[in-house]
Every structure is written in structure tokens, then in C-alpha cells.
Amino acid sequence: MPGPVLHITGARPNFPKAAPVHRALAERGVTQRLVHTGQHYGEQMFDVFFRQLDLPRPDVDLGVGSGSHAAQTAAVLTAVEDLLVQQRPALLVVYGDVNSTVAAALAAAKLQIPVAHVEAGLRSFDRAMPEEINRVVTDRIADLLFATSPDAVAHLGNEGIAAHRIHLVGNPMIDTLLAHLDHIDADRARADHGLADPYVVATLHRPANVDHPVDAAELVRAVHAVADQADVVLPLHPRGRTRLHSAGLFRHERVRVLDPMGYVEFLGLVRGAEAVITDSGGVQEETTVLGVPCLTLRPNTERPATITHGTNRLVTRAGLAAEVEARLRLGRPQSWPVPPLWDGRAGQRIAEVIVRELS
Ligand code: UD1
Ligand code: UDP
């Protein structure tokens, strides 16, 4: 008997990517185990997603928790190695670009267990982002590479990865968005939060925006300048809370800082917003499909399809308020393109390839 397919999740953005792949493999009768590393934990960053998404609770939670990059990566590497030795899976599936992704892939590669990387080939070409290092290393050691967009396929080819290992399958995170669209209710979100139109949603957690006091202070000034024009609702990632609090984020009456939200509630707020300000990867993609103007507070993006096919624009902190003002003046687009294959069937395509490879 071949071993199970073992999925690794670590952080919040992994859950909506894993759910459709797990579901599509279950439909094909594949034996699976879900392992959570524990990089993200607690009600808001972990439990809520297993109630809302079509994903069973993990069979194993390795409980590694927070730490420096080296400490966290090493803890995942060691814990996953032990598990792989016990379980001998036929395939390890890793998602995205977080520390848990690269650590688990490395543990499997050293044990000669095949690795599939979902969301392979994204590149910001910015090694100051820890995720870029995780992406490059994971792709280098993966056996099966599932890409969301043609640019990702091209990057993998340029890095010398054989074409037969690369599969352009679309975007599983968008499968999850489309599967939950009926419950992603802008009117309800507006009512629950007592919001009047227009309002802006913000999510901010990249180290380059929130880790250093000077950046955090500049960010807070930019968000306050937006709040002079519209209510800003900000479900704040735990990473930035202390620093942004010290920088005075909470001191504007039209900035509402909330705890991190459940998936359905968060996307309800996004769906009704006039614009979204973010440094998240996934939110750039979700706004692209929802047709909500997205202003990304970063100098680059590994998701260029959200700009060429979507509603995303890269902005600076200094230019943010003027960009929001322009969005408020223009209003929401009536129609918008969506990248090819972001159609709700990526999980099915990934499962087809995995089943073929396993047989
Ligand atoms: C991680 C990913 C990032 C991803 C983000 C998604 C890496 C290198 N970074 O960043 O790519 O965009 O997740 O949300 O893997 N914390 C909590 N509770 C939690 C998790 C974290 O309070 O459940 C706090 C801890 O103080 C921790 C800090 O947030 O030290 C950072 O957490 P960590 O998982 O290291 O990185 P993220 O910034 O969450
Ligand atoms: N998200 C959520 N609640 C929030 C903020 C984000 O459910 O309060 C979801 C969001 O819709 C997307 C995912 O979390 O599905 C993105 O995760 P995050 O921004 O933390 O990570 P990134 O995509 O930047 O790696």
C-alpha cells in the first residue's frame, strides 16, 4: 500500500489554498492526512478557518508556534522529519511561501519523499522579503510544481526546472473564494459594523511596513490621511499590533482597528469596500476577482496578474491618500477582467495531476 498524501499548513493564507485540493483528492478516494505546523495558532489565526472552510481539522498539530526565522524553520524541519519517518507519505503537498512551507519541503526532500508545491513560481525578485527566499528554495526542491499564472510558469522555466514538472492549474485560493461567494455578504458586513458608504478596508502585516518604528510611523500617517476621507476598517494582524499602536494608529476617530477576522466576515467587508489597502499576497488576488480596487503598499508584487488582469495598483505610503481619493472619485469598476483559469477548478486540476502521478 502506498502511503497517504500529506498536506502541510502553517499560516493563515495556507488554509484557503489547501481546502480545494484536499476536497478534490477526497472526491477521488485518495487517503490523506492534514498536518498543521502550528506557525499560526489560536481562534483568530487558526480555529475559525476550520469552522468556515471545507477543510477537516488537522490530524496532527505540531505546535511549533512563533520564533525567529531560524528557530521557527528549524522547529518545523525537525518536527516534520519525525512525522515523515513515521508516516512515510506517498507525497507531501506544501502551499504558498511561509516558513512552514520551505521547512516541510526540505524535510521531505532529504527523506526522498516527493514534494508538490502549490503556488509555485511566484517571484517578487526582492530577497529582502523572507517569502521570496522560501519560494525559490521550495521550488528548487519540489518534484511537482503547480502554478497559478503564466508568469510563474515562465519564472520556473527560466530557473531551469523541467517543463514536465510544471503544471499551470489556476488559483486554488480563488476556488475557495468562489465556493463561499454566496456567504460573503457585503450588506451584512456593513450592518454588523455599522458602516456607511464609502468605507475602506486595510490589512497590514509585512515586516517592511510594520516592524520598524520609522516605517510604522509613516504608515500610520498615511492611514490617518485616508481616514480624513473615509472610514477605515482595519482587522489587524498580530504582527503589527504593538508597533502600530505605539505609532498612534488608534488615535483617529475614523480608523476602526479590529482583531483578525474570520474568512467569510473579512471578505464580506472587502466585497462592500470602495477600496482595499493591503500588503497581503492573497488579498491582492481576492480583490482582483471581487472587482474591488486594491492599493498594495509594496514596491513590488509576485502577483503581477492582479495588476495586468485585475484591480491592483502598487502604491507608496506617501502617495496612498491621493490614490484613495482618486478611487473614491472614480467609484468601483462596473466590469473587470479575471486572470485565466481563476475559475474555481484549480483544486480539481491539481488533484487530477496528483492522482496520475501517484498511479
Ligand atoms: C507569516 C508569513 C507571511 C504571511 C503571513 C500571513 C513567514 C516568513 N511569514 O508572517 O509570509 O504573509 O504569515 O499571515 O512565514 N503571532 C501571533 N499569533 C499567531 C501567529 C503569529 O500572535 O497565530 C505573532 C507572534 O508575535 C509572531 C508574529 O506574529 O512572532 C509573526 O508571526 P510569524 O508566523 O513568524 O510571521 P507572520 O508575520 O505571521
Ligand atoms: N484574511 C482573513 N481575515 C483577516 C485578514 C485576511 O480571513 O482578518 C484572509 C484573506 O481573505 C486571505 C488570507 O487571509 O484569504 C490572506 O492571508 P494573509 O494576508 O495573512 O497572508 P498573505 O496572503 O499575505 O501571505
Q: Residue 145: its pLDDT value, please?
A: 98
Q: Residue 310: its pLDDT value, please?
A: 86
**Domain presence at residue 234:** yes
Q: Are 299 and 164 contained in the same domain? A: no
**Joined grid coordinates for residue 220:** 500610520
**Domain presence at residue 98:** yes
d(CA 104, CA 148): 21
Q: Are 119 and 210 contained in the same domain? A: no
Q: Are 61 and 120 contained in the same domain? A: yes
Among protein residues, the one with the nearest Cα to ligand 2's atom 1 is 263
11 lines ligand 1 (CB under 6 A): yes
- Over the stretch 232-277, which tens digit does the pLDDT of each residue have? 999 999 999 999 999 999 999 999 999 999 999 999 999 999 999 9
Angle at 131 between CA 258 and CA 98, to 5 degrees: 65
Q: Are 19 and 159 contained in the same domain? A: yes
d(CA 262, CA 91): 30
- Over the stretch 8-41, which tens digit does the pLDDT of each residue have? 999 999 999 999 999 999 999 999 999 999 999 9
Q: Are 191 and 310 contained in the same domain? A: yes
CATH code at position 218: 3.40.50.2000
Q: Give the position, in ligand 1's atom list, of the atom nearest the Cα of 98.
A: 15
Among protein residues, the one with the nearest Cα to ligand 1's atom 19 is 40
206 lines ligand 1 (CB under 6 A): no
Q: Which ligand is nearest to the CA of 47?
A: 1
239 lines ligand 1 (CB under 6 A): yes
Q: Are 61 and 36 in contact (CB under 8 A)?
A: yes
Cα-Cα end-to-end distance for the chain: 12
Q: Are 237 and 304 contained in the same domain? A: yes
Active site residue 205: yes
Reported confidence tier of residue 2, pLDDT bands at 50, 70, 90? confident
**Domain presence at residue 177:** no
**Domain presence at residue 176:** no
Residue 317 C-alpha to ligand 1 middle, in angstroms? 22
Q: Are 195 and 318 contained in the same domain? A: yes
Q: Are 147 and 159 in contact (CB under 8 A)?
A: no
3-state secondary structure of 275: strand
63 lines ligand 1 (CB under 6 A): no
- Average pLDDT, integer, range 312-318: 97
Residue 70 C-alpha to ligand 1 middle, in angstroms? 14
Q: Are 73 and 212 contained in the same domain? A: no
Residue 198 C-alpha to ligand 2 middle, in angstroms? 22
**Domain presence at residue 201:** yes
- Over the stretch 291-302, which tens digit does the pLDDT of each residue have? 999 999 999 999
To 10 degrees, the CA torsion angle through 73, 78, 79, 84? Answer: 120
40 lines ligand 2 (CB under 6 A): no
DSSP 160-197: T--GGGEEE---HHHHHHHHTGGG--HHHHHHHTT--S
Host domain of residue 152: 5-171+342-358
Residue 282 C-alpha to ligand 2 middle, in angstroms? 6
Q: Are 251 and 142 contained in the same domain? A: no
Q: Are 29 and 149 contained in the same domain? A: yes
- Average pLDDT, integer, range 119-133: 97
Work out the burial of residue 61: count CB atoms within 10 Å of its CB; fewer than 13 is exposed, 13-18 middle, 19 or more buried. Answer: middle
Q: Are 190 and 141 contained in the same domain? A: no
Q: Are 95 and 119 in contact (CB under 8 A)?
A: yes
Q: Residue 238: its pLDDT value, please?
A: 97
121 lines ligand 2 (CB under 6 A): no
- Catalytic: which of 205, 212, 245, 309? 205
Contacts of 194 (CB under 8 A, 6+ apart): none
Reported confidence tier of residue 80, pLDDT bands at 50, 70, 90? very high
Percent of the chain scored above 90 by pLDDT?
A: 96
- Is the pLDDT at 1 greater than 70, yes or no? no
Residue 12 C-alpha to ligand 2 middle, in angstroms? 6
286 lines ligand 2 (CB under 6 A): yes
268 lines ligand 2 (CB under 6 A): no
Whole-structure pTM value:
0.98
Q: Are 150 and 248 contained in the same domain? A: no
- Is the pLDDT at 60 greater than 90, yes or no? yes
**Domain presence at residue 279:** yes
Provide the domain count of the chain: 2
- Is the pLDDT at 46 greater than 70, yes or no? yes
- Average pLDDT, integer, range 270-288: 98
Percent of the chain scored above 70 by pLDDT?
A: 100
* Probe residue for ligand 2, chosen from 119, 280, 296, 342 as the CB with the greatest number of ligand atoms within 8 Å: 280
Residue 67 C-alpha to ligand 1 middle, in angstroms? 9
**Domain presence at residue 336:** no
Task: Tell me what the pLDDT averaged over the chain comes to.
Answer: 97
**Domain presence at residue 337:** no
